[in-house]
Homo-oligomer: A and B are copies of this chain.
Amino acid sequence: MEELKNDRFLRALLRDPVDVTPVWMMRQAGRYLPEYRATRAKAGSFMDLCKSPELACEVTLQPLERFPLDAAILFSDILTIPDAMGLGLYFAEGEGPRFEHPVRSAADIDKLGVPDPEQELKYVIDAVRTIRRDLHGRVPLIGFSGSPWTLSTYMVEGSSSKEYANVKGMLFDRPDLMHKLLDTLARSVTSYLNAQIAAGAQAVMIFDTWGGILTPRDYREFSLRYMEQIVAGLTREADGRRVPVVLFTKGGGGWLEIMADTGCDALGVDWTLDLADARRRVGDRVALQGNMDPTVLYASPERIRQEVVTILESYGKGSGHVFNLGHGIHQHVDPEHAAVFIEAVHELSAPWHQ
């Protein structure tokens, strides 16, 4: 492996000094880029794109050709694990993800095994290897997975949902089944992320997209606990460096303190929190990643720069901040506005690191 030329991102996650605040964008390889849309059209379906290591590598690297980003993130879907378990993931045109075989009963859950990442998920692990090779050490590569709770919501509902009637029904009335499902998922995610790390991922992020629909009690018991189990089971060093782990619970701003107690290195933070408050709450236990409102990228270049200033001031002096959006970049954003954002972070953050 070639030596890492820009390690700002990894250093900031471990709260080691940096020259400027590192920056990347959730969903930076995505539909707002015309070159992504071209590759996507060439691939056929979205899952065909995910399942081709060469094409997944191509789209992963596209935003790095345009912008001086400080990290690359594996291009994949969060639902690869349930698909590998045999649930039959597909995307209906104009709708979200769906499963042919949702999980509803004890028998359905008993049938689920832990996928072997080098077999059923080999296309993902091959993508990690390919991307790592083609990055030539420019920036670190982030691997990722959905959280067990988040995966379970799609598996039990069979699709994305507004009401979560089925999965909440199982949680409330059959917590035993829910725990069995979540334990199988936690072991699967651990194995999957460790395979990504072995293949070259230099940091990993766990996306808990639906943890925020739970009560604080249920969040601890059904989401956080399994993320903690995963963090404890991860390979924490690769290439002689620590592999940082980032947890991101959408809508989880009330729970930063208990998230920081899981042993992770950093927390993703959305824009409904001030970074100054978040930093005070987590102290020096974890770094913070975020938290610009993605809709700021619809605003004028001057307004984008002003928002970057506000967020840098809110975080304050010193390392421990990875600049990011508080959610994925929207598909209708002008890539030139993303360029303004990324350049502003590098240019305007230097004084905060002197």
Contact = CB atoms under 8 A, between A and B. Distances in A.
Interface of A: 163-165, 168-169, 172-173, 212-217, 219, 251, 253-254, 271-274, 277, 293, 295-296, 298-300, 303, 307, 310, 330, 332
A157 to B, nearest CB: 12
A345 to B, nearest CB: 17
Contacts of A217: 274, 310
Contacts of A213: 272
A172 B272 contact: no
Given A163-B330, A272-B254, A298 B215 contact: no
Nearest to A274: B216
Contact of A332 (B165, B254, B277, B310): B165
A168 B298 contact: yes
Nearest to A216: B274
B165 A271 contact: no
A295 B164 CA distance: 7
* Residue of A219, A293, A295, A303 with most partner-chain B CB within 10 A: A295
Contacts of A165: 295, 298, 330, 332
B296 A216 contact: no
A342 to B, nearest CB: 18
B172 A299 contact: yes
A281 to B, nearest CB: 11
Contact of A296 (B172, B298, B300): B172
A294 to B, nearest CB: 8
B272 A173 contact: no
A172 B163 CA distance: 32
A12 B115 CA distance: 54
Contact of A273 (B173, B254, B272, B332): B254
A164 to B, nearest CB: 6
A173 B337 CA distance: 14
A103 to B, nearest CB: 17
Contact of A299 (B163, B169, B212): B169
Nearest to A214: B272
A296 B215 CA distance: 11
Nearest to A300: B173
B251 A272 contact: yes
A159 B112 CA distance: 42
Contacts of A251: 251, 272
Contacts of A274: 215-217
B163 A295 contact: yes
A310 B215 CA distance: 11
A299 B171 CA distance: 9
B272 A215 contact: yes
A169 B298 CA distance: 6
A216 B273 CA distance: 6
A328 to B, nearest CB: 11
A166 B164 CA distance: 29
Contacts of A164: 295
Contacts of A219: 272
B163 A332 contact: yes
Most chain B beta-carbon contacts within 10 A, residue among A163, A215, A251 = A215
